[in-house]
Amino acid sequence: MKIPAAYVERIQRLGYTESEARFLYIVALFSGYFTMAQFRAFTRSRCGKRPTCFAQKLVGQGHARACAQVRTAALFHLFSRKVYGQMDNDNLRNRKRHSFEFMRTRLILLDFILANQEFAYFETERDKVNFFCNELGISKNCLPAKVYEGATPNQQTTRYFVDKFPLFLAPPLPGVPAVVTFSYIDSGFSRLSSFASHLAAYRPLLQQLSNFRSTNGWSLRTQQAKSERTGTISPWLVALGVYSPECWSTTPWGVARCSKIHSAIQ
C-alpha cells in the first residue's frame, strides 16, 4: 500500500502525528470504524498515554465518536468531513452511520488491511474501474454495479464495487507474478446465500478473466496444488479469498465450503 505523503501531511496539520495520520488515512479509506486495539497494533504501542491521547484528540476535535462497545472496548467511528476532505474524499460512505453488522464487517476488513499492508490495493471505485476497463479492456457492463435512484426517475447514479471489499494485486506464491485478488468479508451474521449472491454479482466480470481459481484465502498448500495442476500461473489469474471473524481477526473459511458454491460463477 502506498499512502500519498501529501494526504498524510494534510491530516497532520489537524494536530496528529505522522503515524496517527497514516492510520486515519487507512481507516477513512477502507473502514470508517476502528478500535484502539487496531490503533495499537498499527503503531506497535501499548495501552496507556499514546492511545488515550489519540482518542481524546479525535473526540475533542469532533473528528470521531465512540459509537458502540466491542466486548470491553469502545468502537470509534471516523466521520468528520474535515478529515476525509484532507484526502479529497469527503463524500465517502464510510462517514455515514451504519448497522452493527456493517460495523463488524468493516472491523474485520480493517484487520485484514492492517495485517497485509504490502499488497497493492485498488483503493477507490475509480481505481478499480480504470484497471478493469482501461487496462484490461473489459466493458463496464461486466462490472458489479448498483443503480441508485435520484429525486426524479431521470436522476439515476450507477456505482461500481459498492461492497468495498479489498481488491488488490498480490503474488499467490513467492517468486511468481502478482494476480488480481478479490475478497469477501463474512461478518459472522451472513448466510451462505449471501456469498452466493456476491459471486453472482461478480460473475460477468470473473467470466471475462482468463483464469479463475476459488481458494480459501491464504492457504499456500491449496494454491500450490492448483498451480501444479495447471502448470503455469497467468499474471491475471484470480484468487478469491473468503474471510470470517474469529475473535475479531481475519480467518479463512475452509476451501471445502468455498467449493460448494464455485458453480455460482460458472
Q: Which amino acid is at 119?
A: F
> Which of the 8 DSSP states describes residue 188?
S
User: 244 by DSSP, 3-state: which?
Assistant: strand
Per-residue pLDDT of the chain (266 residues; tens, 9 = 90+): 889 999 999 999 999 999 999 999 999 999 999 999 999 999 999 888 999 999 999 999 999 998 877 667 788 999 999 999 999 887 777 878 777 778 888 888 898 899 889 889 999 899 999 999 998 899 999 999 998 887 777 778 889 999 889 998 877 677 777 788 888 887 766 667 788 888 889 989 988 876 655 544 333 222 333 333 333 323 333 445 544 433 333 333 222 233 333 333 33
Q: At what angle do helices 36-43 and 49-60 cross, to 10 degrees?
A: 120
Place of cell 458453480: 263
Residues written for the chain: 266
Q: What is the pLDDT of residue 210?
A: 66
**pTM here?**
0.76
- How far, in Å, CA of 59 to CA of 11, rounded? 15
Q: What is the pLDDT of residue 266?
A: 37
- How far, in Å, CA of 126 to CA of 88, rounded? 13
- How far, in Å, CA of 142 to CA of 29, rounded? 25
User: Which phi and psi angles does 121 have, rounded to 5°?
Assistant: -85, 145
Domain ranges of the chain: 5-98, 120-265
User: Which phi and psi angles does 102 have, rounded to 5°?
Assistant: -60, -45
- How far, in Å, CA of 72 to CA of 158, rounded? 40
Q: What is the pLDDT of residue 90?
A: 75
Contacts from 202-205 at CB under 8 Å and sequence distance 24+?
202/144, 202/265, 203/264, 203/265, 204/141, 204/142, 204/143, 204/144, 205/132, 205/138, 205/142, 205/143, 205/144
| Contact assessment for residue 134 and residue 89, using Cβ atoms and an 8 Å cutoff | no
> Which of the 8 DSSP states describes residue 141?
G
DSSP conformation letters of 155-179: -EEEEE-TT----EEE-SSTTS--E
Q: Which amino acid is at 96?
A: K
- How far, in Å, CA of 200 to CA of 183, rounded? 14
Q: Which fold has domain 5-98?
A: Arc Repressor Mutant, subunit A (1.10.10)
